[in-house]
Structure 1
Amino acid sequence: MAFYFHGLPIGWVAIMLALLASMGGFIFGYDTGQISDILLMDDFLLRFATCSTPGDVSTCSFSTVREGLIVSLLSIGTLVGALLGAPIADMFGRRYAMSTECVVFTIGVIIQITSESVWQQFSVGRFVSGLGVGALSAAVPMYQAETAPSQIRGTLTATYQLFITFGILVAYCISIGTRNIPNSASWRIVVGVGILWALILGIGILFMPESPRWLAAHDRMEEAQFSLARSRGIPKEEAKSHYIIVREVEEINASVQYEKQVRGGWIDCFRPQNKTLYRTLLGMSLQSLQQLTGANYFFYYGATVFKAVGLSDSFVTQIILGTVNFVCTFGGMYVLERFGRRRPLIIGGIWQSAWLFVFAAAGTAVDPTTHPGVGKLMIVAACMFIWGYAMTWAPGVWILIGETFPTRTRAKQGSLSTAANWIWNFLLAFFTPFISSAISYRYGFVFAACNLTGAVVVYFFLYESSNLSLESVNMMYTDPNCKPWTSRDWAPPGYSSRQDLIDRTRAAEAHKPLGSGALEEGRTEKSSAEGS
């Protein structure tokens, strides 16, 4: 069963696989969102914090080091998991890799909920869970980008970020529902519910089609045809003859056959030919800058920050931020599909910087605990920052990681980029308590500067990849005549502009087969790559 978008068939399976795979993002978001509130729960403090008067929660507090380690060890696990995600996904396929990673995550959750009084055990559990989360963060965007029809690839890949925000919001809501339970159930429920999300993804993904590009790379072309047909909503019996499937299979096969002639090891990610090194560094930079926007400053320590601002119920403020983050991500999916990748990231970086400057300036100029109006202004500034982040940098970077790299090194470059994200995730999670205690709300000025840096990096180095097939994106990066600031109108030889390419491709696919066109495009890509 299919519906039509710009005259092209899109199968409901494509929607379902994107949503189901995005449960990996939900797990990521849920783990990110839960710890901020758990750190303030009475039973958790009594068990794992240092109490000057045993049994009196008002005398309990975490040292800066202990708090930093409890929060940040998840990020160390995700860093390792992200690096392991590529070989696992390449070896076992995208689906089986995700199922395996869900098992690892579940083991980590069990370690956490069985902790009694040793905070190190809880931290190790977060590390193990991080291994699964990190590997999923590498596999899911790659699977979505390789399986989704190009006409809606950006929107479907952005569902990963949407589910991250949904996971954060759900964690906040469950936490506010359990915080008044007098025993350990207050935090064990919050952590333990994570197993449910892993079961949904780990089992459900096995019923979805495998990545056609992974199947083609392993000489399973017939299965690749069936996978494409399911994504397009085309009956299985027509998979071998339908002109759209024939065109896409030829394009994928031409690209795969060329790439098989070239080694795709880790060292190849750092070769300058065909702008491979360029794209590796770009991906790592974008993922690093996404962390340096400052979003996780609010997600990890938001409850503590807003409690310091003088709010009577910081849990409620967390839910407000989580809701803004989740709802605005829907807008981000539209913005990135409608306006491309470059413009939203540039404008978003400037917008986010401005509101972080307001947040930091207000908190630095006046003590928010004695001036409620200033505290409210800081909350508004935080919400406006999250609004811009959710509309641009949050989903945009994950989309780009799925569509910027060539097939032969996509998994490994995606892992390196995601690993850069987790390195900065760890550094920020661990050092934020130290930095905040030293410079307080001036920390916002640092993030403001990083957001401006991100806008500059996007302008000078990122190519516009919207509305192009993954193979055409590779052609664009290897075209010596194309520059990042002119890439919006780039098109392969024979097309006058990007819009001309889009219009003619849609018309051709909707009305007649172009069996040899994709193959010829693959050959053009080969020639372009060899000449670069």
Structure 2
Amino acid sequence: MGLFNSQRFNDIKAVASAPVITIGLTASMGGFLFGADTGQISGFLIMRDFLRRFAQYHPEAEELNGVPNDFNNVREGLIVGLLSIGCLIGALIAAPISNRLGRRIAMILLCGVFLIGNTVQVASVRAWYQMAIGRFICGLAVGGLSVLVPVYVSETVPKQIRGALVATYQLFVTMGILTSYCVNLGTSHVDDSAWSWRGALMIGYIWALVLMAGMFFLPETPRFLLAQGRKADSINALRWIAGKKGRQNSALVESQFQEMSAAIDEEKRFASKSFFSSFDPKDKILYRTLLGFVLQMFQQLTGANYFFYYGTTIFQSVGLTNPYVTQIILGSVNVVSTFPGLWFIERYGRRKPLIIGGLWQCAWLIVFAAVGSEADPNSSTVGSLLIFSACMFIFGFASTWGPGVWVAIGEIFPLRVRSHSASFATAGNWSWNFLLAFFTPYITSAIQYRYGYVFAGCNLIGVLIVFFFYYESSNLTLEQVDEMYTDPDTKPWQNSSRREAMEDEKQRGVLNAGLRDGPTVDHVENRDVSMESQTTKETERAV
């Protein structure tokens, strides 16, 4: 089933109001903030003023860095990696804060936290630990926004366009990374001044202020308002989001309100479940929780952040005159490759892109490691081949494992443990993000480009895990995914469920065609009865 067909285009066009597009683009600035903050540190590590202020005195580093200063492994790892620790904590605390204050207010507060962390970094003079603490504070905001932005968009925009706008968040992450590379290139021209890195940091205020200002004008999510018992506010928010269509078609707003009401009533049945319910072996809950954690872990172990965090350092070491340009090339590949990635996942399902992408990434990491470790690093040909192999690797990652793992996390967990299991899985991503950021300087100093072989092996292991443990979930409802995991006769490498899902999709298409002019009371009642039946089945399994 293709991504772009006339029926899907018409469905999207029917709900793509100006307020909906505004919500998607404004909220996705949280992803831009994430990408910009992640990508800038790579350039800072080779700026001469940054080295003079925060690195140790090493006379032998003069030839490489232009100044007799260089970072040891501990200091470099902490400055880079403390952002990830902040992100880990921010991701864990974002949910309870937003449940109490609301998604919108929580996002505004997190933007304020980012501004504080950025100010701590800008005000750093000589203390490297002040820079590290500032990055940790920014991480609290970035990690919290990495959870809340997709939640805000998912709970606000219509379901027909929800996937595209949630995916826009990932696109904005890659755009933020590329923008930070371009900013680093621009400020590197004043490399002997504090403005080389402070200027880049101060531009970061813009992204946070844009998101903060935008959220002041956007509504709270209708779903959160309804969960708080504020029905009138929820309906008003739905009308604002629908724009002109909502004013002309009250049945559209009413149907969305009824659908949310039924979903919230269903969730309340499982509200008493605790975090430890995610580790219940019954119905493969433990299986799926650990699978989510492992998929997130191996997304980090693909080696992508090896290039994003330390790319300028890597390519400076082979004698490239301007490693900032190399980073811009890698960042551009990352952005462009995200677009076909969305099509791959929709057209070929979940498993195939992850398996083929893992093998592709493995192959190019082997090329990268072999060329870097066996050839003359001072050769321009070697440098060009290293850049090319890195670009090919990033193309594979950005179009498969980058978005694919996040799609998996949103689909594999049953409703009763979804928030807890997703939090645990996300913790796996950020914890391994920190471990790689901190230990990469140690490892590269010992084995240099042979580090690529390590990541190549990790990609092969990731492929095997996907093949033997991850079920194909494309074209299935979340309820069908839950049934598939609990069916002892269905194996991950079987595709029979996919054919059944295609037939089910056709039936839903016929039903949607009959509802296109607006649902009737009978349709709403029948849907509620169906949801009640599915909820009863879920409750019986939980018991």
Equivalent position of 1:516 in the other structure: 525
1:166-181 equivalences in 2 (<5 Å): 166-181=175-190
Equivalent position of 1:205 in the other structure: 215
Cα distance between partner residues in 2 of 1:521 and 1:483: 28
Cα distance between partner residues in 2 of 1:525 and 1:310: 62
Confirm or deny: 8 A CA contact 2:49 2:194 kept in the other structure: yes
Confirm or deny: 8 A CA contact 1:349 1:455 kept in the other structure: yes
- Is 2:51 the partner of 1:41? no
- How far did 1:227 drift? 4.2
CA displacement 1:181-212 (0-9 Å, x = unmatched): 13101100111221211111122123334334
- How far did 1:453 drift? 2.5
Of 60-69 and 110-119, deviating more is 60-69
- How far did 1:6 drift? 6.4
Equivalent position of 1:449 in the other structure: 457
Cα distance between partner residues in 2 of 1:234 and 1:350: 48
2:369 to 360, 363, 370: 360
SS of residue matched to 2:189: coil
* 2:106 partner amino acid: A
- How far did 1:460 drift? 3.5
Equivalent position of 1:413 in the other structure: 421
- How far did 1:411 drift? 3.8
Cα distance between partner residues in 2 of 1:103 and 1:438: 40
Equivalent position of 2:193 in the other structure: 183
Cα distance between partner residues in 2 of 1:501 and 1:55: 67
Cα distance between partner residues in 2 of 1:511 and 1:463: 36
Of 69-78 and 330-339, deviating more is 330-339
- How far did 1:254 drift? 2.8
- How far did 1:55 drift? 13
CA displacement 1:325-344 (0-9 Å, x = unmatched): 11111222333334333332
Cα distance between partner residues in 1 of 2:467 and 2:15: 34
Cα distance between partner residues in 2 of 1:436 and 1:363: 12
Confirm or deny: 8 A CA contact 1:341 1:464 kept in the other structure: yes
Equivalent position of 1:337 in the other structure: 346
Equivalent position of 1:433 in the other structure: 441
CA displacement 1:141-186 (0-9 Å, x = unmatched): 2223333433333322211111111111111101110112131011
Cα distance between partner residues in 2 of 1:16 and 1:416: 31
- Is 2:201 the partner of 1:195? no
- Is 2:236 the partner of 1:219? no
1:274-353 equivalences in 2 (<5 Å): 275-353=284-362
Equivalent position of 2:470 in the other structure: 462
- Is 2:97 the partner of 1:92? no
Alignment gaps of 5+ in structure 1: none
- Distance verdict in 2 for CA 1:293–1:86, change over 3 Å: same
- Distance verdict in 2 for CA 1:252–1:127, change over 3 Å: same
Confirm or deny: 8 A CA contact 2:61 2:70 kept in the other structure: no
- How far did 1:446 drift? 1.5
1:21-170 equivalences in 2 (<5 Å): 21-52=27-58, 57-170=66-179
- Is 2:440 the partner of 1:422? no
SS of residue matched to 1:241: helix
- How far did 1:320 drift? 0.5
Confirm or deny: 8 A CA contact 2:360 2:396 kept in the other structure: yes
- How far did 1:383 drift? 0.2
Q: TM-score, normalised by structure 1?
A: 0.90
SS of residue matched to 1:497: helix
* 1:206 partner amino acid: F
Cα distance between partner residues in 1 of 2:238 and 2:49: 51
- Distance verdict in 2 for CA 1:509–1:260, change over 3 Å: same
CA displacement 1:471-500 (0-9 Å, x = unmatched): 6655665666655445684599xx873432
SS of residue matched to 2:368: helix
* 2:174 partner amino acid: T
- Distance verdict in 2 for CA 1:456–1:247, change over 3 Å: farther
Point out which structure has higher relative CO (alpha carbons under 8 A, 6+ apart). 1
* 1:117 partner amino acid: R
**Identical counterparts, % of pairs:** 49
Confirm or deny: 8 A CA contact 2:251 2:518 kept in the other structure: no
- Distance verdict in 2 for CA 1:491–1:217, change over 3 Å: farther
- How far did 1:7 drift? 7.6
Confirm or deny: 8 A CA contact 2:111 2:211 kept in the other structure: yes
SS of residue matched to 2:355: helix
- Is 2:538 the partner of 1:529? yes
Confirm or deny: 8 A CA contact 1:250 1:518 kept in the other structure: no
Cα distance between partner residues in 2 of 1:154 and 1:330: 13
- Distance verdict in 2 for CA 1:91–1:82, change over 3 Å: same
Cα distance between partner residues in 2 of 1:131 and 1:105: 8
RMSD: 2.9
Cα distance between partner residues in 2 of 1:206 and 1:257: 29
* 2:196 partner amino acid: S
SS of residue matched to 2:320: coil
- How far did 1:266 drift? 2.2
- Distance verdict in 2 for CA 1:451–1:13, change over 3 Å: farther
Of 156-165 and 217-226, deviating more is 217-226
Cα distance between partner residues in 2 of 1:504 and 1:478: 29
Confirm or deny: 8 A CA contact 1:94 1:143 kept in the other structure: yes
- Distance verdict in 2 for CA 1:334–1:259, change over 3 Å: same
Equivalent position of 1:395 in the other structure: 403
Confirm or deny: 8 A CA contact 1:476 1:491 kept in the other structure: no
- Distance verdict in 2 for CA 1:52–1:281, change over 3 Å: closer
- Distance verdict in 2 for CA 1:157–1:436, change over 3 Å: same
SS of residue matched to 2:386: helix
Aligned residues: 525
- How far did 1:288 drift? 1.4
Equivalent position of 2:5 in the other structure: none
Cα distance between partner residues in 1 of 2:438 and 2:21: 37
Equivalent position of 2:262 in the other structure: 254
- Distance verdict in 2 for CA 1:97–1:405, change over 3 Å: farther
Confirm or deny: 8 A CA contact 2:15 2:161 kept in the other structure: no
- How far did 1:444 drift? 1.0
Of 338-347 and 110-119, deviating more is 338-347
SS of residue matched to 1:363: helix
Cα distance between partner residues in 1 of 2:224 and 2:489: 31
Cα distance between partner residues in 2 of 1:72 and 1:429: 5
- Distance verdict in 2 for CA 1:337–1:219, change over 3 Å: farther
SS of residue matched to 1:115: coil
Confirm or deny: 8 A CA contact 1:150 1:468 kept in the other structure: no
Of 282-291 and 301-310, deviating more is 282-291
- How far did 1:398 drift? 2.8
1:382 to 362, 365, 390: 390
